[in-house]
Amino acid sequence: MSIPRLHPDTIEEIKQRADIYDVISEHVVLRRRGKDFVGLCPFHEEKTPSFTVSSSKQMYYCFGCQAGGNAIKFLMDLHKHSFSEVVLDLARRYQVPVQTLEPEHRQEFSRQLSERSQLYEVLASASQFYQHALKQSQGKLALEYLREKRQLTDETIGQFNLGYAPAGWETLYRYLVEDKRYPVQLVEKAGLIKPRKESTGYYDVFRDRIMIPIHDIMGRAIAFGGRSLGEEQPKYLNSPETELFQKGKTLFALHQAKAGISQLDQAVVVEGYFDAIALHAAGINNVVASLGTALSLEQVRLVLRYSDSKQLILNFDADKAGTIAAERAIGEIANLAYKGEVQLKILNLPDGKDADEYLLARSPEDYRQLLANAPLWLDWQIQQIIKNRDLKQATDFQQVSQQLVKLLKNIENSDTLNYYVSHCAEILALGDTRLLPLRVENLLTQIAPQNSYSSQSAYLPRPKQPRITTQSSTQESKKTTPTLEKSLLEQAEALLLRIYLHCPEQRQFITDALEERDLQFSLSHHRFLWQQILEISSVPLEQELISTVQDRFLEFPEEIELVSHLFHLNEKSQKEILRTPQVVQAAIACMERVLREKRYRHFLELWQQTDPQVEPERWQSYYQAFYAEKQRLQELDRQRLFSLPELL
């Protein structure tokens, strides 16, 4: 929809209501460290947490990739949404009235904005209707099925809001459209009814089915899955995709599983709704279910946000369809798994059972033990390759060898590759240890035919190539001085800006010093930040200045990447500004030194080019000018080095 400009009061109220911990903790596992929270950064792959959230300042910052900002910026970067889209979504969530700057657009805009909220309301009403119908006489068979066939308690039925869609063609339609007075187009957009093709009117999408609500991460109903009670096909029917529901971006029960995933540092993905429900009922609450489609990379990233170590176990059915589903899921996330960015395991339950069937006969502890012993995905794939193969037969041996080589070629980590080359060689040697070196040699040759190592030399590290000094490298060394000068200038300017942002008592002194010496920030991103700071007036508190500046930068994503680290203090930067007056003096001295150095070189060059016999007065003037600059440079060096030699 077209989004008009939002009123600043609306933005400010949303910032006040949207607590950054609440917003970010829905997407990142956060653990308290001192007065702040830390977790794994969602914007780049990392194994050690460097992502920090400050509740007191309402800001986040990653010391690994330098991503930072407030709650609005976090959602913009995470979901790739515009500033207005994020603000509107937060306005709906926190029930903030939305004001716009174009009064003539407000009526149409309000209509568009309310439609999404109404969709949530319609789906919530439908869920309540189905739950009520389950407890009526018409839902008797459905309730018996849940209690007896699935052995679910009333508590579990209530926990997952299970319900029943009556058999009539227009039962839900009449309830929502005629009784509740929802617009028929809205109910259709929610995926609950469809227009009749051969006549006027609508009919219910779900009829005579057990209804399983699908919720978003905030626990709001966004769709339904319906299981038939008889022989009606399909056995399971999902809602069509809508504005609120996309199958490839949703996982069943994630809103209930995210706490368990975080606590156990492990996520389990099953195929069916009732597999997930049965496991939760058994106290295994780190389980989600896919929605009848191949597990997508987006779904994997979604569930792994809640696991620090990125542990993922796929528990798909052991039948042919389940095996195909597991292989398709592996294909989606293979690149992550090969790099070790996902700790992926595959669990096939004994006798081809699914989790729901398994728990009817075995205990939850038995299932937990199977999870603990689940093979790594590479081991599982190797098992699938050699399954039902007779390696004593030439054809089977050749096919297995080719598939193993194809698998091994994708392994990037050398230690992992060495292990699996040895493992596959043992399989192909059929217990004959004399054949092991040959099998290793054959595998390695096929994996990297351009490097035909022997079975021993293949595991030795390659010698390092000697460094060759070229003319370009010699020329590069000549650039050391200006490069170093720029590095010192950047460090000085960054320090000064950081102090200004975090030390309100130094702001007037910094402003006066810059004006007195007629200094400007030389680097464009620092100059841009300083311009934004100067345009903000009457901001007494440190966090308010930083927050306001960050809001301005939301419209300039490229610029904020270069300066976002200045909005945050780590242990090192806190020490840097501990001696604030000395640091300010050193930083300003360094900035002035760069300016004076340019003036010195300029006057020196003019002096050298002037003939003292022809223009003695000009020659003398240039001499005095460059000598004065040289004297000032020496004074600045003393200030800079005396004040803070370890930094500048």
The residue among 542 and 206 whose pLDDT is bigger is 206
Give the closest residue to 306 by CA, choosing from 72, 39, 70, 60.
Answer: 39
Of the chain, the percentage scoring pLDDT greater than 70 comes to 85
Write the DSSP assignment of 604-635 as a string of letters. Answer: HHHHHHS-TTT-HHHHHHHHHHHHHHHHHHHH
Rounded to an integer, what distance in angstroms lies between the CA atom of residue 70 and that of residue 61? 9
Residue 150 near residue 280 (C-beta atoms within 8 A): no
pLDDT at 452: 39
Give the closest residue to 514 by CA, choosing from 535, 528, 500.
Answer: 500
The mean pLDDT value for 80-97 works out to: 82
At 205, list the tokens.
């999408």
For the chain, the straight-line distance linking the first and the last C-alpha, in angstroms and rounded, comes to 52
- Cα 315–320–323 angle (5° rounding)? 35
513 pLDDT higher than 50:
yes
Residue 567 near residue 501 (C-beta atoms within 8 A): yes
467 pLDDT higher than 70:
no
pLDDT at 55: 79
pLDDT at 646: 43
The mean pLDDT value for 228-237 works out to: 89
- Cα 481–482–483 angle (5° rounding)? 90
pLDDT at 317: 72
pLDDT at 487: 66
The residue among 345 and 293 whose pLDDT is bigger is 345
Residue bearing tokens 């926990």? 159
102 pLDDT higher than 70:
no
pLDDT at 563: 81
Rounded to an integer, what distance in angstroms lies between the CA atom of residue 177 and that of residue 619? 94
Which of 260-274, 525-539, 570-584 shows the highest mean pLDDT?
Answer: 260-274
Residue 107 near residue 98 (C-beta atoms within 8 A): no
Rounded to an integer, what distance in angstroms lies between the CA atom of residue 484 and that of residue 154? 71
4 pLDDT higher than 70:
no
The residue among 441 and 125 whose pLDDT is bigger is 125
Torsion, CA 450, CA 333, CA 29, CA 252, rounded to 10: -170
The residue among 119 and 112 whose pLDDT is bigger is 119
Which residues, including other chains, have CB under 8 Å from residue 501's CB and lie 6 or more apart? 533, 542, 545, 546, 549, 566, 567
363 pLDDT higher than 60:
yes
The mean pLDDT value for 139-155 works out to: 96
pLDDT at 645: 37
Rounded to whole angstroms, what are the CA distances from 196 to 119, 201, 205, 243, 495?
21, 6, 11, 22, 69
Give the CB-side neighbour count of residue 470, counting CA atoms within 13 A: 5
Give the CB-side neighbour count of residue 366, counting CA atoms within 13 A: 9
648 pLDDT higher than 50:
no
Q: What is the 3-state secondary structure (H, E, C) of 554-598?
A: CCCHHHHHHHHHHHCCCHHHHHHCCCHHHHHHHHHHHHHHHHHHH
427 pLDDT higher than 90:
yes
The mean pLDDT value for 377-396 works out to: 92
The mean pLDDT value for 50-71 works out to: 87
Q: Of 52-56, 569-573, 585-589, where does mean pLDDT reach its minimum?
A: 569-573
200 pLDDT higher than 80:
yes
The residue among 624 and 212 whose pLDDT is bigger is 212
The residue among 396 and 306 whose pLDDT is bigger is 396
35 pLDDT higher than 70:
yes
At 108, list the tokens.
């149409």
Rounded to an integer, what distance in angstroms lies between the CA atom of residue 306 and that of residue 286? 10
Of the chain, the percentage scoring pLDDT greater than 90 comes to 34
pLDDT at 128: 97
pLDDT at 474: 34
At 577, list the tokens.
């500004």
Q: What is the 3-state secondary structure (H, E, C) of 152-213?
A: CCHHHHHHCCCEEECCCCCHHHHHHHHHCCCCHHHHHHCCCEEECCCCCCEEECCCCEEEEE
Which of 21-35, 336-350, 353-367, 584-598 shows the highest mean pLDDT?
Answer: 353-367
Q: Of 41-50, 210-219, 332-341, where does mean pLDDT reach its minimum?
A: 332-341
- Cα 499–500–503 angle (5° rounding)? 65
Which residues, including other chains, have CB under 8 Å from residue 38's CB and lie 6 or more apart? 30, 31, 49, 50, 51, 52, 53
The residue among 601 and 114 whose pLDDT is bigger is 601
pLDDT at 566: 85
Q: Of 186-200, 384-398, 609-623, where does mean pLDDT reach its minimum?
A: 609-623
pLDDT at 184: 95
Determine the angle formed by the axes of helices 106-134 and 83-93, rounding to 10 degrees: 50
pLDDT at 187: 97
pLDDT at 221: 95
The mean pLDDT value for 512-534 works out to: 83
Q: Of 4-18, 137-151, 452-466, where does mean pLDDT reach its minimum?
A: 452-466
Q: What is the pTM of this model?
A: 0.60
54 pLDDT higher than 90:
no
536 pLDDT higher than 80:
no
Residue 127 near residue 161 (C-beta atoms within 8 A): yes
Q: Is 249 helix (H, G, I), strand (E, B) or coil?
A: helix
Which residues, including other chains, have CB under 8 Å from residue 79's CB and lie 6 or more apart? 86
Rounded to an integer, what distance in angstroms lies between the CA atom of residue 408 and that of residue 403? 9
Q: Could you tell me the pLDDT band of residue 257, with boundaries at 50, 70 and 90? A: very high
- Phi-psi category of residue 226: left, alpha or beta, with phi > 0 → left and psi -120 to 50 → alpha: beta
Rounded to an integer, what distance in angstroms lies between the CA atom of residue 172 and that of residue 165? 8
Q: Could you tell me the pLDDT band of residue 165, with boundaries at 50, 70 and 90? A: very high
Domains along the sequence of the chain with CATH: 8-101 (3.90.580.10), 107-245 (3.90.980.10), 249-375 (3.40.1360.10), 388-458 (no CATH), 482-643 (no CATH)
451 pLDDT higher than 60:
no
pLDDT at 225: 96
Q: What is the tens place of the pLDDT at every residue in 364-373?
A: 999 999 999 9
